[in-house]
Amino acid sequence: MPASQTIAVTAAAAAAAITTTSVPSAEASTNAPATTATASATSATVTNGAINSGRHQLRPVKYDYADSFACTYIVSVVAASIAELATYPLDLTKTRLQIQGEAASVASTAPTNTRIGGSAKANMQYRGMVATAFGIVREEGALKLWQGVTPALYRHVVYSGVRICSYDLMRKELTANGSQALPVWKSALCGVTAGAVAQWLASPADLVKVQIQMEGKRRLMGEPPRVHGAAHAFRKIVQRGGVKGLWKGSIPNVQRAALVNLGDLTTYDTIKHLIMHRLQMPDCHTVHVLASICAGFVAAIMGTPADVVKTRIMNQPTDELGRGLLYRGSVDCLRQTVGKEGFVALYKGFLPCWIRMAPWSLTFWLSFEQIRKMIGASSY
């Protein structure tokens, strides 16, 4: 075939192919969207190759990691440690206030007058939050406001991590994706369960913390020191009461934690979604602040009576077998406290408890939400 004819045939074939491609049939037009989508996806995959593949693989991995159980646990512990360090002096003041007026303090005050002077009782028995705090600074030193903070931080390694993660897991099980607001009764059930489980696991660290917090006052009153540090307190508790002695006061402790988390977790979760839904506000710091303030107030109201009982049981002297010398249990402590000092005694330390819980809750939730946002996790 001559060269000119060959070129003509090739040109005609090319024109036919172009016409067929650019002018599809009716049937092809009907299936155009699906065909185009498939072609686009295939083209994108082929064209961008490893880049697109890498993106589709990295994004889910990053999101899953930030929202994973381990990451949520670590973030909650870090946020709780920040809040604990910032508000711990109020916790120490609250503990000292809750001990005032009980039989142990009254009994230990009598020999004090003969040992360190007749004014000792007046100096030891503070009357309010401010006087108690200034008395600690004046008589023991400013750094004593953080006495016992080490076991408090140990406690949050267990307590805060377990309570936040367990509440999150239960919430996700009860909702489609965990981002929806739970009904109040379901949120309350989750909060009580999470708080009780977390506190039972962390009760030994709480026991050590309470005993260390009272050492400064005992030494000023002329009493011999019971413990010299967290490790010594831990060993002494085990020696006197065995391993189960580490859970002395755990029942009121668990009761308190259940009520506190009923106020904290449930209130924060409910108020946060309520504000965002009713006021049409985005998930921002303003919402976190408002929800945290409400959570701290409700938690203080719910948890202070159980906190008083817990503190007194943990601080009471024990015999050689680790049995309490003042109270037989939480019910007996509650009965004696109300019978001897009145119902108002159950709210001893309420003001510092509330003043502490409000900034603690605020600091914790702001730190928690901000850290999650920084690592790319979803909003809690």
Give the model confidence (pLDDT) of 302-344 as tens digits.
Answer: 888 888 887 788 778 777 766 778 888 778 888 888 888 888 8
Looking at the predicted structure, is the pLDDT value of residue 24 above 50?
A: no
Looking at the predicted structure, is the pLDDT value of residue 160 above 90?
A: yes
* pLDDT, tens digit (0-9, with 9 covering 90-100), for 86-96: 888 888 887 77
Question: For the ranges 114-123, 139-148, 313-322, 341-350, which has the lowest average pLDDT?
Answer: 114-123
The confidence band for 180, taking pLDDT boundaries of 50, 70 and 90, is low
Q: What percent of the chain has pLDDT over 90?
A: 14
Q: How far apart are the C-alpha atoms of 266 and 260, rounded to whole Å?
A: 9
* pLDDT for residue 206: 83
Q: What is the pTM of this model?
A: 0.64
265-266-267 Cα angle (round to 5): 95
Looking at the predicted structure, is the pLDDT value of residue 216 above 60?
A: yes
CA-CA-CA-CA torsion for 149, 129, 131, 223, nearest 10 degrees?
-50
Among residues 338, 328, 81, 91, which one has the least CA distance to residue 214?
91
Mean pLDDT of 184-202: 91
Q: How far apart are the C-alpha atoms of 232 and 236, rounded to whole Å?
A: 6
Mean pLDDT of 7-33: 45
* pLDDT for residue 229: 76
Q: How far apart are the C-alpha atoms of 257 and 287, rounded to whole Å?
A: 25
* pLDDT for residue 303: 83
Mean pLDDT of 169-185: 76
* pLDDT for residue 165: 93
Question: For the ranges 104-113, 149-158, 168-177, 232-241, which has the lowest average pLDDT?
Answer: 104-113
Average pLDDT, the chain: 75
Question: For the ranges 97-101, 332-336, 343-347, which has the lowest average pLDDT?
Answer: 97-101
Structure tokens at 42: 């295939």
- Which residue type does 129 have? M
The confidence band for 166, taking pLDDT boundaries of 50, 70 and 90, is very high
Mention every residue, 6+ apart, whose C-beta is less than 8 A from residue 227.
208, 211, 212, 215, 233, 236
* pLDDT for residue 22: 43
